[in-house]
Amino acid sequence: SYAYAFSDKTFAIGVTAKVIQGAAYSGSVNLQGGSGVTITNHFGKPEISTTYGIDLGAIYKPMSWIRFGIVAKDINKPVFDDTGGGEIKLEPQVRGGLALNPWSTLTLTADVDITKNKTLVPGVKSQLLSLGAEQTFLSEFISLRIGTFKNMQDATTPFIPTAGLGLRLFFLRADVGGGYDFREQGALVSGSISATF
């Protein structure tokens, strides 16, 4: 990734190049009774392919306590090999957001998908609205986060609550976050470790 700020850091633009590996599966299983179904053993051998993606982003900071941002992901439309000789193409996605800092240790955010994004389910699209807050302690050694998100393209989906924890020690940072869908009774969890130079 590379970013450049100008006009006394009022504006910043950036670009990210990434390597993406995809695995496509194809298989079928007969469903009888609707309970105790296991499909993981029926996917067969994956079709693995590697490609690259390019993301662009920009930030506008008119005052010290407010920032507007926009990012366009996969603008080069990365293509993966599908089973049976087909292709799977990632369409570009555009997302915009706003961040407020009422005081130096608190960040309030709101961001939304500007584009309606295709999913792997035919006819189902995704357009996420996300709201969140982060409070840091001890000079950003600890970061606590809460938030929620909703797919605006599906009126029946509820807002999903999320929470996260970040630890920072010198140039190292570890983050873990997750959410829980009470309707589907399923959890989402992610984690990362990064170094800032």
Residue 33 CB contacts under 8 Å (≥ 6 apart), including other chains: none
Question: Given phi > 0 = left and psi -120 to 50 = alpha, else beta, which region is 123?
Answer: left
pLDDT at 43: 74
Share of the chain above pLDDT 70, in %: 94
Q: Mind listing the pLDDT tens digit for each residue in 138-174?
A: 988 999 999 999 999 988 888 999 999 999 998 999 9
User: What is the pLDDT of the chain when averaged over all its residues?
Assistant: 91
Give dist(CA 149, CA 112) in Å, integer: 9
Q: What is the pTM of this model?
A: 0.77
Between 51 and 123, name the one with better pLDDT. 51
Q: Mind listing the pLDDT tens digit for each residue in 65-121?
A: 999 999 999 999 999 998 888 898 999 999 999 999 999 999 999 999 999 998 877
Share of the chain above pLDDT 90, in %: 70
Beta-bridged to residue 147, according to DSSP, are 132, 162
Residue 68 CB contacts under 8 Å (≥ 6 apart), including other chains: 59, 60, 61, 62, 96, 97, 98
Say if residue 179's pLDDT is above 90.
Answer: yes
Q: Are 165 and 136 in contact (CB under 8 A)?
A: no
pLDDT at 39: 65
